[in-house]
């Protein structure tokens, strides 16, 4: 175990970064601090309007900063023009020029810099070959598939030799099948190139599949930073537990706790052997998913908006003991599977003036909690 805390070198460091689009409005990004390790794949994740795209655009230099700093390899780039930062951006729609060939699309920024035609075509074709597009270099975007256009967009972003590649929802224009395929390609390219990728997405599934580090944002601040495993297994707040999905949140005297739905224990109401901590519930939905069966349930007597829970059972376990719509059951869990949730961040209007930092402190206190429901 590494006992000495030697932080990995940060490719990008964000210090108290704030964006306010208008003087009397809530900050779209509110004093966030973040270190992104060099050569890592970082996903900025959160619901619509949480400030993830604004953060990415400020790193890119496409949006001005209200206050705070952005450092790239220890260089303060906060006020540098986009082209002088060492970053490159890959957009959602790829933003390829329709009338230009793949080669000319990739070579475009070199043309703007006055690089001669032979040299810029050589470098563009070299990059196209690297993303397995060498044989289609003469084609225009309309003659390429979505996945092929994405590779051209990647080659075009790489031609400026960036240290950090910024990706704004790069997979959302693709159909679901291609999205999963291109997701694997993005991950492979990032490893092969050894670059730092910062990828904005609203999909927790995409972030889990890609990221070394996930940054979960809400209301312009960071709720939690960690590996997909750490965030999924130790959500810091109710917001993170609900946003990541696959968790139930229960109110207890010690505050809210989260329990993964595949860790829930379920028994028929008549077999009440789960002790006094078991919660009475009714099955409201049975969804067959192949490997798993997802049960939707309503907690008896819970407050409005807090009744709905789910239980994920393996197919074999379900077939051995099926549950049916309307059936009365009792739910419980092992203490070790309960995660105590921190308060999370408040919406801007309710926020205290103390620095928000990285939001809720992560706790792993699974002390016995008597149910109050």
Ligand X SMILES: Nc1ncnc2c1ncn2[C@@H]1O[C@H](COP(=O)(O)OP(=O)(O)OP(=O)(O)O)[C@@H](O)[C@H]1O
Residues making contact with ligand X (CB under 6 A): 21, 28, 46, 48-54, 202
Task: Give the shortest CB-21-to-ligand X separation in angstroms.
Answer: 3
Closer CB to ligand X, 248 or 358, in the complex: 358
Cβ closest to ligand X, residue 204 vs residue 248? 204
Q: 17 - beta bridge partners? A: 32
Inter-CA distances, 307 with 103, 142, 169, 296, 340, Å: 56, 50, 33, 10, 19
> 102 or 200: whose CB is closer to ligand X?
200
At 189, give phi and psi (nearest 5°).
-60, -40
**3-class SS of residue 144:** coil
Q: Measure the CA–CA gap between 188 and 213, rounded to whole angstroms.
A: 16
Label residues 46-70 b or e (16+ Cβ within 10 Å = b): beeebbbbbbbbbbbbebebbebeb
As a whole number of angstroms, the longest Cα–Cα distance in the chain is 81
Q: What is the nearest approach in angstroms of ligand X to the Cβ of residue 46?
A: 6
Minimum gap (Å) between residue 47 Cβ and ligand X: 7
Secondary structure (DSSP) of 210-263: H-SEEEEEETTEEEEEE-HHHHHHS-SBHHHHHHH-SEEEE--TT--EEEETTS
Instruction: Judge whether 236 and 344 are in contact, CB under 8 Å.
Output: yes
Residue with Cβ nearer ligand X (46 or 235): 46
Closest distance of CB 213 from ligand X, Å? 18
CB of 19 to ligand X, least distance (A): 7
Least distance (Å) between residue 51 CB and ligand X:
4
Q: Shortest approach of ligand X to residue 200 CB, angstroms? A: 6
Cα angle 307-309-310, degrees, rounded to a multiple of 5 = 160
Residue placing its CB nearer to ligand X in the complex, 192 or 350: 350
- Report whether 334 contacts 318 (CB < 8 A): no
Q: Which is nearer to ligand X, 218 or 332 (CB)?
A: 218
Minimum CB distance to ligand X, residue 93 (Å): 13
Contact indicator for 239, 256 with CB cutoff of 8 Å: no
Q: Which residue is nearest to ligand X (CB)?
A: 53
Work out the burial of residue 130: count CB atoms within 10 Å of its CB; fewer than 13 is exposed, 13-18 middle, 19 or more buried: middle
- The tally of CA atoms less than 13 A away on the side-chain side of residue 157 is 28
Comparing CB distances to ligand X, the nearer of 21 and 97 is 21
Pick the closer one to ligand X by CB: 30 or 104: 30
Please state, in angstroms and rounded to a whole number, the distance separating the CA atoms of residues 101 and 148.
Answer: 13
Q: Assign 3-state DSSP to the chain and report helix, strand, coil percentages, each to 5.
A: 30, 30, 45
With respect to ligand X, which residue has the nearer C-beta, 46 or 141? Answer: 46
Angle between helices 102-112 and 146-158 (to 10 degrees): 20
Q: In angstroms, what CA-CA distances link 106 with 86, 109, 125, 129, 262?
A: 17, 7, 8, 12, 47
Minimum distance, C-beta of residue 80 to ligand X, in the bound complex (Å): 21
Q: Give 48 or 291: the residue with its C-beta nearer to ligand X.
A: 48
CB of residue 202 to ligand X, shortest distance in Å: 5
């Amino acid at each position: 175990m590494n006992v000495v805390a030697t932080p990995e070198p940060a490719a990008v460091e964000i210090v108290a970064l704030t964006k306010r689009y208008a003087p009397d409005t809530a900050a779209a990004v509110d004093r966030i601090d973040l270190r992104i390790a060099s050569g890592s794949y970082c996903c900025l994740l959160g619901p619509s309007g949480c400030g993830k795209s604004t953060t990415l655009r400020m790193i890119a230099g496409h949006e001005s900063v209200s206050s705070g700093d952005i450092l790239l390899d220890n260089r303060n780039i906060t006020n540098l023009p986009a082209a002088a930062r060492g970053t490159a951006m890959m957009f959602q729609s790829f933003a390829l020029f329709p009338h230009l060939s793949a080669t000319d699309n990739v070579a475009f920024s070199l043309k703007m810099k006055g690089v001669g035609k032979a040299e810029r075509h050589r470098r563009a074709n070299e990059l196209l070959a690297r993303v397995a597009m060498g044989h289609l270099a003469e084609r225009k975007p309309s003659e390429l598939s979505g996945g092929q256009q994405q590779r051209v967009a990647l080659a075009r972003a790489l031609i400026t030799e960036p240290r950090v590649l910024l990706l704004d929802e790069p997979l959302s224009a693709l159909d679901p099948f291609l999205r999963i395929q291109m997701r694997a390609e993005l991950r492979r390219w990032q490893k092969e190139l050894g670059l730092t990728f910062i990828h904005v997405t609203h999909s927790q599934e995409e972030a889990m599949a890609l990221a070394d580090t996930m940054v979960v944002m809400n209301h312009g601040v960071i709720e939690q930073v960690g590996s997909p495993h750490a965030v999924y297994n130790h959500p810091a707040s109710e917001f993170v537990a609900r946003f990541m999905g696959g968790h139930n949140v229960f109110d207890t005297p010690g505050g809210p706790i989260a329990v993964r739905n595949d860790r829930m224990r379920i028994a028929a109401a008549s077999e009440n052997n789960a002790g006094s901590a078991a919660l009475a519930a009714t099955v409201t939905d049975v969804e067959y998913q192949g490997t798993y069966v997802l049960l939707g349930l309503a907690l008896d007597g819970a407050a409005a908006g807090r009744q709905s829970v789910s239980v994920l059972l393996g197919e074999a376990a379900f077939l051995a003991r099926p549950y049916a719509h309307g059936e009365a059951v009792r739910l419980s869990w092992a203490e070790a599977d309960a995660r105590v949730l921190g308060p999370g961040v408040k919406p801007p209007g309710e926020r205290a003036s103390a620095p928000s930092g990285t939001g809720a402190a992560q706790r792993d206190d699974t002390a016995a909690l008597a149910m109050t429901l």
